[in-house]
Amino acid sequence: MWSILISTIMTNSFVNFIIYHPQEIVIRKAMPIVKQTIKSMPNLDIMFGKCFNIADLGCSSGTNTLLVASIIMDIVHDVCKQNNLKVPQFQVCLNDLCSNDFNAIFKLLPEFHAKLRKEKGENFGPCFVSAVPGSFYDRLFHDETLHLVHSSYSVHWLSKVPEGLDNNKANIYMARTSPQNVLEAYQKQFYSDFTKFLKLRSKELVSGGRMVLIFHGRSIVDPTSGETCRLLELLAQSLVDLLKEGLVQGSDINSFNLPYYSPCEDEVRNVIHIEGSFFLDTMNVFQVNWDPYDMDYTNMNDSKEHSQIHGKNAAQVMRAGMEPLLTSHFGSSIIDPLFIRYEKHLTEHLAYKKTRYFNVLISLVKK
């Protein structure tokens, strides 16, 4: 069932897991590293050449899909001006699974090109945009054709649900009550998938090509830490609430596990080192509140009213991405009652602890 679900519903990026505003926050936080990455490329006159090839993996089809390409082209334009180089043409390859709504992206292109001409002039570029449907756990591009690979909020999604999770009762991910074999199965699947991801991209990037990845992670070794798992534990708890009310079956909860993994920094470093195709140039970490519209990162004692607002916003963020998965597995009738209970649990949690997503940002150089 999960293979069908992943191929028909889940996008590589699952960008709606974090809706428009926080996704833009994450993208913009990464851009200084992208700029540094582009400026550090060797032999810029050769690297840019006639055409600079960019791939955005897990692009989805939302408002931010073309934002990454636009900012990268701005950076290249500025770097060329600083180094007295001719601005290259651009090939932007937008990748996601075949179920992604690429038509929605194509409808944005006339306005996108018009804005480029207005801001940069008729002689800028040109920029060619193409769709590349398929999983980034498979080959996507010709050998040594890409100069820069970007991916935001994608790599933490696994190629499949790990095997051997039958005893992960009443959980939908790794949790404090999960048996040790569940934790090991998730780690094994991440190691396998991330290794494959790096190996495939190394074939597609030119020598000296760069890759910038942003994904969920965790700050400590314990994979069941609150910063990583509490958000999903509360969702599982909401499903158990429905079970007690007779609205879902226990067997359905026990068979539902997410194809997701948030690695710690050492795990990321180890896979990169062992796989061996890339140098780790930069690793940064940053945090974003569960309620992405709550920009106050210092106040830990919000009022009851504010906690309710934060709980509601955090629940809406999760619903945006989780609803298709939940509907496919449990049916649509449980969605509204589930997220009413989830909002209540989130509100209670955020009333005493302002928890955040831990994000990992890495820049890699192909050897």
The pair of three-digit structure tokens given for residue 215, joined into one six-digit string: 């994904």
What pLDDT is attached to residue 92? 97
Min mean pLDDT across 1-10, 93-102, 202-211, 307-316 is at: 1-10
Per-residue pLDDT of 43-80, as tens digits, reads 888 888 889 999 999 998 877 789 999 999 999 999 99
Share of the chain above pLDDT 90, in %: 68
β-sheet with 356-366: strand ranges across = 127-133, 89-96, 51-57, 146-152, 205-217, 356-366, 278-289
What pLDDT is attached to residue 300? 57
Report which DSSP code applies to 87. P
Per the CB < 8 A criterion, the answer to whether 288 and 357 are in contact is yes
What pLDDT is attached to residue 190? 98
Q: State whether the Cα torsion 274-275-278-282 is positive or negative.
A: negative
d(C-alpha 268, C-alpha 157), whole Å: 14
Mean pLDDT of 11-40: 69
Task: Write down the mean pLDDT value for the chain.
Answer: 88
CB contact set of 123 (below 8 Å; sequence gap of 6+): none
What pLDDT is attached to residue 12? 44
Q: Which residue has the tokens 């007295």?
A: 84
Total-model pTM: 0.89
Report which DSSP code applies to 83. T
Mean pLDDT of 82-104: 93
What pLDDT is attached to residue 11? 41
- Choose among 265, 242, 33: nearest CA to 273: 265
Look at 345 and 351; give whichever has higher pLDDT.
345
What pLDDT is attached to residue 288? 85
d(C-alpha 352, C-alpha 41), whole Å: 46
Model confidence at 21, in pLDDT bands (50, 70, 90)? Answer: low
Amino acid present at 354: K
Mean pLDDT of 91-98: 96
- Choose among 356, 322, 352, 351: nearest CA to 339: 322
Per-residue pLDDT of 134-192, as tens digits, reads 999 999 999 999 999 999 989 999 999 999 999 999 999 999 999 999 999 999 999 99
Per-residue pLDDT of 123-144, as tens digits, reads 787 899 999 999 999 999 999 9
What pLDDT is attached to residue 291? 80
Per-residue pLDDT of 235-256, as tens digits, reads 999 999 999 999 999 999 999 9
3-state secondary structure of 284: strand
3-state secondary structure of 273: helix
Model confidence at 303, in pLDDT bands (50, 70, 90)? Answer: low
What pLDDT is attached to residue 17? 39
Model confidence at 308, in pLDDT bands (50, 70, 90)? Answer: confident
Per the CB < 8 A criterion, the answer to whether 263 and 360 are in contact is yes
Q: Which residue has the tokens 């890699």?
A: 364
3-state secondary structure of 317: helix
